[in-house]
């Protein structure tokens, strides 16, 4: 009986040693898995933080884009307004230019296009020296009018 008892003790000690090894392996595996879990949670937190940062950056960039578009729309509207004002000013300038010519012609009627030639032809008939001068350059005094205006 003692032998059976010793054999049973040896078998139980062997089984205890095996179960203890399995438990130690399970504890080690559990520790490794816990570390892996912590690493995955850390990665998830970093990814979540990165995702939030990306979302914030995207919202900020979209806001800047919208501001730029608004500024561009405002500038285009201002450009159109200025173009219209320029067209109005140019038209007003043309009207003033015409009025200046009319006023000049009223003040200096002898400088009217047809009147000057008629007066000059009458004088040439009377004075041969003027006829010789007429064959050279045109009237050196000029009418004082702008050269861009054709009447």
Q: How would DSSP label each residue in 3-25?
A: HHHHHHHHHHHHHHHHHHHHHHH
pLDDT tens per residue across span 75-123 = 999 999 999 999 999 999 999 999 999 999 999 988 666 655 555 555 5
In a domain, 18, yes or no: no
144 or 76, higher pLDDT:
76
End-to-end CA distance of the chain: 146
In a domain, 113, yes or no: yes
Using alpha carbons, list the distances in angstroms from residue 140 to 84, 104, 134: 41, 18, 11
- Residue closest to 111 by CA, chosen among 148, 86, 130, 139: 139
pLDDT tens per residue across span 58-78 = 999 999 999 999 999 999 999
pLDDT surpassing 50 at residue 150: no
pTM over the 0.85 mark: no
Q: Which domain holds residue 79?
A: 61-128
pLDDT tens per residue across span 10-20 = 999 999 999 99
Report the distance separating Cα 119 and Cα 143, nearest Å.
14
Interior CA angle at 116 toward 127 and 137, to 5°? Answer: 65
In a domain, 29, yes or no: no
In a domain, 149, yes or no: no
In a domain, 102, yes or no: yes
**Number of independent structural domains in the chain:** 1
């Amino acid at each position: 009986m003692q032998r059976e008892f010793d054999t049973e003790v040896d078998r139980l000690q062997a089984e205890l040693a095996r179960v203890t090894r399995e438990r130690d392996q399970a504890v080690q595996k559990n520790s490794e898995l816990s570390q892996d879990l912590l690493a995955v949670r850390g990665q998830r937190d970093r990814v979540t933080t990165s995702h939030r940062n990306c979302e914030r950056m995207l919202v900020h960039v979209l806001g800047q884009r919208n501001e730029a578009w608004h500024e561009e729309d405002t500038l285009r509207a201002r450009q159109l307004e200025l173009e219209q004002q320029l067209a109005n000013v140019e038209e007003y300038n043309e009207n003033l230019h015409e009025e200046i010519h009319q006023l000049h012609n009223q003040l200096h009627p002898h400088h009217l296009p047809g009147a000057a030639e008629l007066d000059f032809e009458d004088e040439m008939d009377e004075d041969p020296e003027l006829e010789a001068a007429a064959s050279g350059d045109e009237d050196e005094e000029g009418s004082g009018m702008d050269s861009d205006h054709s009447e």
